[in-house]
Structure 1
Amino acid sequence: MVFTANRSAAFKLLAESYPFQTSRKLLTVYDHESEAIETMTTASEKRGARVMAAEFKWPRLRIHSAKLRTMIARKKKKKKYRGLFVFPLQSRMSGASYSYQWMTMAQEHGWHVLLDACALGPKDMDSFGLSLFQPDFLICSFYKVFGENPTGFGCLFVKKSVVPILEDSSGAGIVSITPAKNFHEEFSSTDTELEQDSMNRKSEENMTPDDQQQLELDKQIVIVQEKETSNIECRCLDHMDSLGLMLVSSRGRYLINWLVSALMKLQHPNRLENFPLVIIYGPKVKFDRGPALAFNLHDWKGEKVEPVLVQKLADRSNISLSHGFLHHICFSEKCEEEKQRVLEKSIKENETARNKGKKADHQGIAVVTIALTFLANFEDVYRLWAFIAQFLDADFVEKERWRYTALNQKTIEV
């Protein structure tokens, strides 16, 4: 088990340690751009890896099973291991859930499996079933679990049978962690401290029975005080633990499905045809969907409101939204016209291509994203719905811009 500064550091550490010289392939299953995955693919490519990515069917963003099965299948049985298969249980952006069977299929065809559990909540970790599906690596994140500070640190678990493979690689290797307390007890004692301990033992031997009894009481008081100061209290996690896994999971499922259903009912007025305000990407109301949602807002003219603008307006209302980029979307021939209308180029890809003097061909959909934490309640979800409903007003965005200018605020692009 290795603790890292954040989720990206855990992926990078594994990429720099995995033997891509012999197992050259890296196969990822992500429907969105991720800084951690980009860091991993960049480090892997530098070490000679061949990077592949799964595709997702429009419009539900389900995994394109036929193409992924072809990528996983072993064509020649020359090599013992084909490479590293990076698989998330849920999409952190669209909320889509994926089957565990993909891990089993990958292992049967000679892949090492990295299970990305960062999209799951703290209590969801109790229902993994790792005894049935045994990944070689597991990465989880503590983002928004312990509050503001510290937050976001990651953890990489490595199966013992795989450790020798990583140690033989030419990368950074495996970090070994020694508990600080044991290390201090074993190695921090100096000669002066040892001499002081021996003098204390001699003085204790010359004490009267009453003095020895008082000394024992003092030692017990010190031990109790040390235990009280060393205890770490996690009220949020303790509260979730008292509620139980079933109640926490059910509440999250009810909230996200209610939000999806409520957003789909928002229609622009004064239109002859039904024209929705919100376009949702990925699964709609579904029992096993995750607590994340990817969507876009469209004004009464049918034009998309920029996700960055929606995020800024939400920040003024103390609502935490984000924006991301869906990619690796596969359209059927029937949806060719819709493909031309929906897809756009990634801003990051354009900047990278411009710096390298290449053409950017990476296309996808820029979206607004929301992720419900394990502490979210109905009041939070309703406030989000009420904020989005304000976009039914045709002049809402212009009013907010005018109000921002009237307050003599300066717009700073980050």
Structure 2
Amino acid sequence: MAIDANGDVKIQGISLRSLPKVSLHDHLDGALRPATIVELADAAGIELPQSDARSLGRWFAKQSDSGSLVEYLKTFDLTIAVMQTPEALTRVAREFVQDLAKDGVIYGEVRWAPEQHLAGGLSLEQVVEAVQQGIEEGEDAADAAGHSIRVGQLLSAMRQHDRAREIAELAVDFRGRGVVGFDTAGPEDGFPSSNYREAFDYLADNFFPVTVHAGEAAGLDSIRSALLDGRALRLGHGVRIAEDLEVITREGDEVQVQFGEVARWVRDREIPLELSPSSNLQTGAVAAWGSELADHPFDLLYQLGFAVTVNVDNRTMSATSLTRELALLVEAFEYDLDDLETFQFNAAAATFLPVEEREELVEMIAEGFDA
């Protein structure tokens, strides 16, 4: 199997890019087109490590491939720097949606942290409105090009700052105006969800859905806190839930596993895992199992019945797309179309949409894969 220059591949004669997909874990400030960064940086007088788009794209990929989440996150200093005006935020959001549509995505949730875009004097409300304008423009442009797509915002509170309650209130205020959920992001290790219990209590009181970055840079304690303190309905990455699994025997495709209490809870309650294969390798989240995609516990989790979903995390940093991530998994684990359809069904069921709209997504996915 060969992945082409656009990250596409054919499986059973079908282009992966053409298949309907759902994207749950995709950062706005991690999905800028390198050419857009060059233009915005030039207009704002920001110095770049590379002056042309192609070289800048390679720079991001190289800097992000460090094996450390802390080092990986430093690349965002540059993308965030060019996203400090309404015009820039609207443009980035519009292109974000258009790029998803070109990749076959029919529904996406974009996460980003409003508090990181105030350096130009904007308010929290203004930055959310600017991003929403871009999303709607992107949806309209995609529709005009013959591709129907919807995108909802997930507002992230940065763990290292003290604004979680404020961002939680912002998210609830914009419910029905583009925002569909809340997230916590940034450095995970040393910043458990229990630190933000007040914000999570407020969100629970308002029946507002939550996903939490957990099980990436920190292990089971972080996941436990996300579930108990954060009342997380999904786990952002969550890959280190595999630390709570003890493989007893492995014979060919048959694996006997002893579950820990956290892993069993997550599996039995079908709490979705927002897995991001390439990113998980880059940040060292799967270092305990190896350094190749074939070492990723994705397949073990899938075979054991966890609600696995496939995501990009940061398209710019990982030089990837959702199609490419699926292609890499096909290459590593010999998945077929039925497997890829299952991943999309899992993602559709995990969206922060009303149940009727989730069912519509499932129908669209089934129809697309059948066709």
TM surpasses 0.5? no
Over alpha carbons, which structure has the higher Rg?
A: 1
TM-score computed with the length of structure 1 as normaliser:
0.25
TM-score w.r.t. length of structure 2:
0.28
